Amino acid sequence: LLDPDPDRRRESSLLLVGAGADPARRRRLLRGQGWGADPLAALVLKLDAQAAEALGQAPRAQQLWRQLARRFPAAAASADALYALGRTEPGQRAALLKRFPAHPAALAAALEAGPGGALHLARWGARWPGAEARIRQVCRSGAGSGSGGFGAAERNELAGALAQLGDGAGALSCLGPRRGSVGTELALGRALLKGTATQPAEGEKRLLGLSRHWPTSPEAAEAARLLSERPGPAALALLAQLPPALRQTAPVQARQAFEGERAWREVLARWPADPASWDLSWELARQRLLKREWAQAAAILKVLSPDRLPTPLAVRQLFWLGFAEQRLGQEEQARYHWRQLLQRSPWGYYGWRAVVRLGEERPPLRLKADPQAAPLAPSVWQPLGSGQPRLDRLWRLDQPLEAWEEWRHQRGSRTPMAPAPLIVEGRLRQGVGDDWMGLAQLEQAQLRWIGARCPVALPLERSLHPVRHGATFAGAAAAAGLDPTLLLAVAKQESRFTAGVASPAGAIGLLQVMPATAAELAGAPVSEDQLRQPELNAELGARYLALLLRQWQGNPFLTIASYNAGPGAVQGWRNPTLELEPELWVEAIPYPETRLYAKKVLGNLWSYQQLSVRGC
């Protein structure tokens, strides 16, 4: 802090604050750093005010909040000032909701406002903790919008928010007998398709109605895509009810081609850049591979260029093209395509299987503890790379919460769709401890990023494989004789490192342990609250994985498939294919969830072990 440059002194102070400091030390570090018009001065005032509050220095905190609101009225940090001042001055809360509607401080204020804040939450932050319950409450009661209750337009917004959250039944009840807006109808149809009993049929009905009422809208095209993905041949009858123009879209034509009602080559040639064509190509190739029709599988896999596919789909295509060519005796071509795969992405499931097929698995995949292996290391810090200097500076100064709040204020209610903003938002969410949504957004970005090759995609790959609960997993793995990266790989797929998550089937915690399994492993009943404790969950999950590993004599495919489907089911899937062609064995798993799960977890495991030792 003796640097003669005042800007560097301020940045040094903020770095020290970001590294962790008690309130008194924070105040000392920030003293005299709120000068000038730089946005960092606004951040200094905010952090100083929060430290003063934590020390019980209310008058000084009030002075700092007022200074912040007066000097930097447009800065995102001023939202916190308006929130704090609004505790005693309601007009400040009203200004907060108007000027910074999507800022976390505004969402917190809307939640505290009671039923009257529900509409604000529906518009700007339905995923804010507590928002869903509040929106559902006012939908049932009709309170919150004056003595007359909510009108049709307001109910439409509330219903749309519930539908976005996946509560199709609640959204339907909130909306009532009327039709919603095109966006609400799409969200409602999507949510109902995932429901139970009669809800999927109602969802299909809403999507068909949307397509007829707004046939030229983007939402109608998305409705057609959703209907084209419905299971079974009955989907064709649904697609026949779409307006003529929508029946000519790629998702509908691809589904008809899959069912044999039109030539698949025509679809792939006409829509090579449409995800429906990508799915069609893979499903047709997979059918041929499972029938060992190698020439036909190779012919399908050669139609689409891997340069026009997202990396996960490109490496899948290249792996199986090489696999089919090897079975056809075209060894040189097979090795060429596997090396192409590794140039794009040496990580993940197909990176692992490509090096195995090339005879280059060095070091081999580890499931058991290895005293020679390096200990788990924390995730490496990476620049945010948002292209926005203010955000990137906050990230560099170890102020992820401030960067997230700035981003949230900027983007408002717009959900990012393109790869670049998805990566930025996903990483910002990770920075504030939200791996559940952060990892989901990073995976979306990876599946939308066309043609990304290894050097450019390396930062994303590292963000997709963070080290969380490192000491906990290291201890549990050591006690069970496992490699700690195995626990990371399973936890990433099971819970995205979210300790409090529970599945519809009742599995709980980081490694999604079932209470009955936990009781058997622990030798005593284990409560749900106990299973949400990372240490106990990791210990029990590691014990179960070690048990499965012993049962299957170290076989990684059987072990991971059993963790998902149970050893009883997996026992019935064993056959000679497993030994010579384990990749084909995985594709023949009759449970789609387990098929995907095995590839995801084994890919995670390979990535965790390779990212620290292998570059591009």
pLDDT digits (tens, 9 = 90+) for 373-400: 889 999 999 999 999 999 999 999 999 9
Please give the Cα distance from 540 to 519 (Å, whole number).
Answer: 9
What pLDDT shows up at residue 146?
47
pLDDT at residue 150 is higher than 90: no
pLDDT exceeds 80 at position 214: yes
**Residue 220 confidence class, pLDDT cut points 50, 70, 90:** very high
DSSP tag of 418: S
Q: What pLDDT is stored for residue 143 in this prediction?
A: 60
Above pLDDT 90, what percent of the chain?
93
Supply the DSSP symbol for 414: P
Q: If DSSP codes are grouped into helix, strand and coil, which group holds residue 494? A: helix
Among 185, 111, 178, which residue's Cα sits nearest to residue 150?
178
Q: pTM of the full predicted structure?
A: 0.95
Helix (H) or strand (E) holding 218: helix 218-228
Question: Is 565 in a helix, a strand, or coil?
Answer: helix
Q: Is 229 a catalytic site residue? A: no
Mean pLDDT of 290-309: 98
Bridge partners of residue 482, in order along the sequence: 368
Position 185 scores a pLDDT of 98
Mean pLDDT of 184-210: 96
Phi-psi region of 374 (alpha: psi -120 to 50; beta: other; left: phi over 0): beta
CA distance 402 to 103: 11
Report pLDDT for 145: 47
Q: Which pLDDT belongs to residue 612?
A: 82
Taking the C-alpha atoms of residue 461 and residue 603, their distance in angstroms, rounded to an integer, is 12
**pLDDT, mean of residues 555-577:** 97
Give the C-alpha separation, 28 to 265, whole Å.
70
**What is the arithmetic mean of pLDDT over 493-516?**
96
Q: Compute the residue count for the chain.
A: 616
**Residues whose CB falls within 8 Å of the CB of residue 197, separated by 6 or more in sequence, listed in order:** none
**Residue 56 CB contacts under 8 Å (≥ 6 apart), including other chains:** none
CA atoms lying within 13 Å on the CB side of residue 252: 21
* Confidence check: pLDDT of 70 > 90: yes
Out of 154, 204, 325, 494, pick the active-site residue.
494
CA distance 372 to 228: 51
Q: How far apart, in Å, do the first and last CA atoms of the chain sit?
A: 39
Q: Tens of pLDDT along 231-270?
A: 988 899 999 999 999 999 999 999 999 999 999 999 999 9
Phi and psi at residue 450, to the nearest 5°? -85, 130
CA distance 1 to 148: 60
Tell me: the pLDDT tens digits for 326-360? 999 999 999 999 999 999 999 999 999 999 999 99
SS3 of residue 107 by DSSP: helix
Q: Please check the confidence at residue 1 and state whether its pLDDT lies above 90.
A: no
